[in-house]
Each structure stands twice: as structure tokens, then as C-alpha cells.
Structure 1
Amino acid sequence: MSILLWQIEQHLENHLACRFGHLNYCSLRLLQEKDMVQGLLKLQESEKTCSGCAIGKSHRSSFDKEIAWRASQPLELIHSDTCGPMQSITLGGNRYFLTFIDDHTRMCWVFFLQHKSQAFNIFKRFKNMVELQSGYQIKKLRSDRGGEYTSLEFSKFCEEMGLERQLTIAYSPQQNGVAERKNHTVMEMARTMMHEKKIPLKFWA
């Protein structure tokens, strides 16, 4: 009976990790300890491995974690980055994804794009949404110098809104490390889940 219960617990733990996009067990335990998810199963082991993680996370690039200033309130600083083009176009015709990360809470929003030129309109929608929902205003935006962020209309909009731009130096992705790491995490989760379930690449988004 005890062996059967142990096997059931193992299955539930594996299922839990999969439901969270193959999140590592240290992060799952943090969710549990901080009571950030209601009804979260108590984890029994410190670490596990699965074939999906081994494949999906095998080419992870490292970015040094910067020890620097942190925002003291929500939306004080937003990190952003665009990833793509992907090898496969989704059913909705998307080839890119765009992330926004709040520096204070580390909350992340992901949007899918057919073209990089859509980034400006998506940012305006995002800004309007989060400011109305939170009661705070975006004060700073950190990104690389990709054309989707440095267009005339994007720059003019930020100037009119009194939004401070923090543009990284060319070929220095570590200066936008928060967004770069998040994009790598999103890609790892997508690859891992698709590999485990043998899902075609067109379903990455």
C-alpha cells in the first residue's frame, strides 16, 4: 500500500511540474513555501529530471544576474524584448513573441506578433491595460535598440507620455538581462512541453 501511495505522489508531482511548464523544483517549492498558489501539492523530493527538460533546456544560454537598482513600486520600470522569427509560423500566422516584465513584481506578459512592426501598437494596448488595472503608471521602459523600439512613432509616443527610455548598447544583451532571461525561459518551457507531448512546431503559440 505504501509503495502504491508513493507512486501516486510521484505521478502527481510530475504532473504538477508539467502544468507549470516544467518549472524547476526549487521554484515550485518557493511557490509552496510562500503560499503563492492555493492547494499546491507538498513536494517530497528536492529535484527530479525528465526527458522533456533534458531536451528542451539543453541549449540554455546564460546571462549574469545583475546586482543593480530595483523598482520600488509596480510599473516603475518595464523590461521588454522581442524574440523571433521562429522556424514555424503558428496557426494564427505569428512568427515572433514580445514580453513585458515588471521590475518590481516580476510579473510577465507575453504577446504574439506576425511582424515586429506590431510592437508599437501592442505596447500602447499593454500600457493602457496595466495602468487602468493597477492604478500605477509606467515610468521607464528598458529594451534593446531593435527597430521595433526605436521607430519615430514609438519614440514620439514615449516622449509625449513622459516615459523614460533605457536603450541598451549594441551587442550587449546582458544590459537587458531580465527580458533576455525571460525569453529564454519561455522558449525552454515551450520546447519542453512540445517535445514531451510530440506536438508539431506550429503549436508553439
Structure 2
Amino acid sequence: MKVADMCCPPPGVEEWISTFYVASIYFDSGAVSFPKSQINDLFCESCAFAKATRLPFSKAIPMMATRPGEVFHTDIGVIPIVSFRGYRYFIDFVDEYTRYVFTFLMRKCDEVYHVYEDLRRKVRDKIKYIYTVVSEYDDEIKRVQSDNDKEYEKLARIIVKYGTRFRFTQVYTPQQTGMAERRICMVM
């Protein structure tokens, strides 16, 4: 019997799974010794594939923002139950410098641009409040980073007129917008 037969049983055969676990504990304890030529045959391709993971991202990702309101990470979440007023989606904007979160409710996903206008207005008001002592300050958002949702494509084309750069993350790497992704998980 091969190891692949034990750990990848045919459907409905549950005894093989328990036999495999007992056998692996028995083999791992050193109670059974195999000649080196037979150890190479103990490989299960599906087990190796199931245990495969991505390489971890660096824990020390350099912060790009040098002041509040400069860089935002954003993501859209779905509300499982439609609210009383008809809201089905929400969008989070996380300030990279302060980790302050702006959350807006949306009825449709194509309201992203209007929500961005609200965010821009609120950020300008907050920055004016923070920098009342400083005579010169820049109150525009410099960069917005998000995943590759199609709702952001139109927004990326429009916000150029404000001098804001839009950065999409690489496909299948939610770690690059980790701040916004974690906020979505906290809300849900």
C-alpha cells in the first residue's frame, strides 16, 4: 500500500483516514525503520500541495505617508443583510499615517466616486483643524491604494484632476492593502 492510498482515500472510505493517522504517528515515533531506498517512495503529491503556502510578506513594510491625509488604503465590503435604508455595501478608507478609518455606506458599488468626494471634503476639514498653527499645508490626498475591484477603475481615471495618484495592488495579494482588508474583517 502506498502513502497516497492511505491519505487520499476513495470517497466514502473513512477507515483509511484514521489508519493513516495512526500509521503516521507510529512511523514518526521511530518504532518502524525503513531502508533508505523505501523512504523516497513515501511521498503524497496531494498532501504536499495541500500544505503549500505562500512566502510571508515582510513585517516591516515602510510607511509611505509623512503626514495625515496623504495616503489612503481602501476596500469595499458587502453587508450580508440590506439595511433599513437600502444600503448594501460599505467602503473603508484607512489613513496610512494615523490609521484613522473613514467608513461610508453605499446602495450600489458605482457610488464610489461620490463617496470619494465626501472623503476628500472630510479630510480637508480635519487637516485644516490639525494644521491651524501651520501657515502652509497641503490638504490634498496624494495617493489612494486599493485592490483590483472594477469599481475603482473609473475613480482612478477621475481623481487625476485633483493630483491624486491611484495605485492598484498586484492580483491575488490582499496583503498589499492589509490595513483596509483587516478593517473589513473587523466590521464583518
Instruction: Flag whether TM exceeds 0.5 (same fold).
Output: yes
The structure with higher relative contact order (CA 8 Å, sep 6+) is: 1
TM-score norm. by structure 1 comes to 0.55
Q: Judge conservation of contact 1:77–1:139 (CA < 8 Å) in 2.
A: yes
SS in 1 for 2:84: coil
Pair 1:91 & 2:91 matched: no
1:106 maps to amino acid:
R
Question: In structure 1, how many angstroms separate the alpha carbons of the residues matched to 2:182 and 2:141?
Answer: 21
SS in 1 for 2:80: coil
Please name the residue that 1:182 is paired with.
183
2:94 maps to amino acid:
I
1:182 maps to amino acid:
R
Unaligned segments of structure 2, at least 5 residues: 1-55, 129-138
Count of aligned pairs between the two proteins? 122
1:76 maps to amino acid:
E
SS in 2 for 1:81: strand
Question: In structure 2, how many angstroms separate the alpha carbons of the residues matched to 1:130 and 1:161?
Answer: 14
Unaligned segments of structure 1, at least 5 residues: 1-62, 188-205
Shift of 1:118: 0.7
Shift of 1:169: 1.4
TM-score norm. by structure 2 comes to 0.60
Question: In structure 1, how many angstroms separate the alpha carbons of the residues matched to 2:75 and 2:145?
Answer: 9
Q: Which of 135, 141, 148 is residue 151 of structure 2 equivalent to? A: 148
Cα displacement string for residues 77-97 of structure 1 (whole angstroms, at most 9, x for unaligned residues) = 11110001x331110101111
Ranges of 4+ aligned residues in structure 1 off by more than 4 Å: 63-66
Q: Quote the RMSD (CA, aligned, Å).
A: 1.8
Percent identity over the alignment?
A: 27
Please name the residue that 1:129 is paired with.
122
SS in 1 for 2:62: coil
Question: In structure 2, how many angstroms separate the alpha carbons of the residues matched to 1:88 and 1:169?
Answer: 30
Question: In structure 2, how many angstroms separate the alpha carbons of the residues matched to 1:144 and 1:108?
Answer: 17
Q: Judge conservation of contact 1:94–1:114 (CA < 8 Å) in 2.
A: yes
2:74 maps to amino acid:
S
